[in-house]
Structure 1
Amino acid sequence: MALCVRWLVLAATLAAVVALLLCTSSAPVARAVKESDFTAEQRKNTRDVLQAFGRAIPELGKKWIGNDFCSWKYVDCYSSDVSVWVGSADYAGSLPEMPAGVDYRHVVITLLDFSAMGQRLSGTLPASWSSMTSLATLYLRLTKVSGTLPPQWSSMTSLVSLWLERCERVTGTLPASWSSMTSLSDLNLHGTQVSGSLPPQWSSMTSLGTLYLRLTKVSGSLPPQWRSMRSLNVLDLQGAKVSGSLPSEWSGMKSAEVLQLQDCDLSGSLPSSWSAMPKLKKVALRGNHFCGCVPESWVKKATVIVEIEDEHKGRDCSTERVCPTTAPPQPTTTVGPNIPTTTASPTATPTPAPETECEVDGCEVCEGDSAARCARCREGYFLTSEKTCRADRDGGVAAASSGAAAAAAVCMAVLLSVGLAA
């Protein structure tokens, strides 16, 4: 009888372990590989590029010893690519130029994330990085990097996500040539010192899902041509210097969900045609110089949140906020009295994440109408060139799976001991 009980306990234990492993394997995990799993050309050329970063960040370079870069600290190797995620502020260095004599067709680095280094990472944005045509993700947020946005980066046609958020020394204009970066889905320049106009040529960036230009110095009018940006979900221009009227042509933005246009220098009437945007959820317009009322077609869309001064929504709006019938005066003259608002200055509130029905694990916003391609990943994940979300190294899926497997092994050992003891 005791032997029978032990066998029953053992069978139950094995069933529990199998169930646990099946649950933990449900998330997509990229298979970790060894350096030897890459071709000789991939090993040599990828190693040469990594060593350039090691020379530019000396303390990190001291840890990158030997030929097997898959064993180096902060380097992750997957089935077909390599990611570099420096998750510590203990290192200091600069951005390196790309070395000569490298065949970049065989460089398999797809992710570079140096954001954790913060102000200890400096240097200008190198034009030579345009050689890394396989790079899909580049994160340099909150660092001390400087210089202008290199027009040459237009050659980085695999780039999906580029974050230079709060890099306050980044200046210059938005390169029109970046319009050829047709894979770019997520561009964050929030808090940089970029200036100049919004390039009409960017209308060909049909994969661009999120564009953050908050608190930059960009100016000029909103390009009507951007109606062709069919994947644009979130446009954030809060606090920028853009002016002019809201283009009625933007009604063709079929994926637009959130338009952050508050605290700019915009004017004119609100185009009723914007009600044709099928996915629009929020339009923030406070702190501008609009005239007229919120169009009735907007009001009828109960799912759209319109943030604007009460004067544009009041009962007497049609008589108090009449738009001028003549051409507005030149910027050198006074347009009209300042519009009083309920507060001295609008309080910026976090933009709620747009609702999505994504099927991609770790995804916050899907790309356009596709539920299988991600435009922006949740915190702790990064966007891959296949438009999926992969967990960061420290919080990664692979780490979670290995931890779950270890837990399963411990659980099995404990249950076995209990079962055998019975």
Structure 2
Amino acid sequence: MTTDAQSGDGEKQCQPASEVAIKPGPEKRLRIAVLNRVFSPTGGGAERYSIALVEQLAQRHEIHVFAQQIDHHWPGVTYHRVSAPLVKPRWINQLWYATVTWWATRRGFDVVHSHENTWHGQVQTVHVLPVKYNLFNGRAGLRLAIRWLKVLSSPRLLAYLAMEKSRFSPQLMHRVVVTSPALKAVMNQTYPACDVSVIPPGVALPAVALNRQAARLGLGLTEQGRLLAFVANDYEKKGLSTLLEAMIRLPSDVELAVVGNPSHIERFQKKAVTLGLGERVHFLGHLKDVSPLYEAADVLAHPTTEDTFAMVVLEAMAHGLPVVVSDSRYCGIAGFLKNGVNAVILSSPTDVPQLAVALERILSEPVLREGLARESRHFALQWSWARISQLQALMYEEIAAEAS
């Protein structure tokens, strides 16, 4: 099973979920283990992906979640808290988690689905670039030799590489799932023996739209003026530095609301003050529900330097929010978007003038802004979690059928 369809030249192209035929599944109720160290809606895109699938699939199957941090409750889901005797160093905790969950799920489940770097689990969903790719891609000669010396002297890197090698071993015949065509290309380059499928994230379509002023008031933001939204857990990688520098070039009535990892706030607050933006940038920390921010904002800015998909972009589009996003070399969802039609796509995520011009155009041109908002919502309608979860369910059912 895959969301890929054969094109005329034999290459595989990923389709939106709305274009994939969904066959009704069998009545058999499967017992499924889901592995995710952090099972919380504030954890990040990978966590929200896993949570959304669990919520959908729990309607048809018996779901067991194995996690070290659990901030989620859903009818019919059984939660198993995995101990964490050593949270740091992280690589030791990863080994511990992988070992404990291997022992706990080695029998009694029809399918084990891992969202972590583990050596077990018939389904392995990959949300980030492979460790091997990050370490060795583009290196040759002396640079490659130096990198190998670094790896061989690091128990942390050796552990990560060893787990990853087992995770993507063709002998284990794991079903490898990625979230975008761009990440699939990286996987094919790094682990060519893997059979990789693309199952992109979905989105929960908002049922009722909030009043913009009410949404801003609820978040403690000013009701007047124009508002940019930025949502990320890794502020630097997702481009907040570039966005702050672009803010200097925008009119003084344009403000910015930042949602995400509270541990990054102090550093970027200082930068905002240094740039003279102290009164215009609002750090809101984690929000369990980001919907009010999407309703309050005029534009979502996502000048990321590395994002295998970017669920926040899809979520914003579901609220009819115009988006400015890095191109597909840096952000997976951009491979599905059309520049100037349903998004404004940046050729360089670190180009401050380009970002500032893109934001200024959307904020100052009502026709452009309204067109992007309309097409954003139309695009998001193709990506409901109900349909995406059926793609994953088909894979589970294939695995169970093969085992029986």
How would you bin the TM-score normalised by the shorter chain?
under 0.3
Instruction: Give the alignment's TM-score, normalised by structure 2.
Output: 0.25
| TM-score (norm: length of structure 1) | 0.24
Q: Which has the larger radius of gyration?
A: 1
More helix by share: 2
Higher relative CO (CA 8 A, sep ≥ 6), structure 1 or 2? Answer: 2
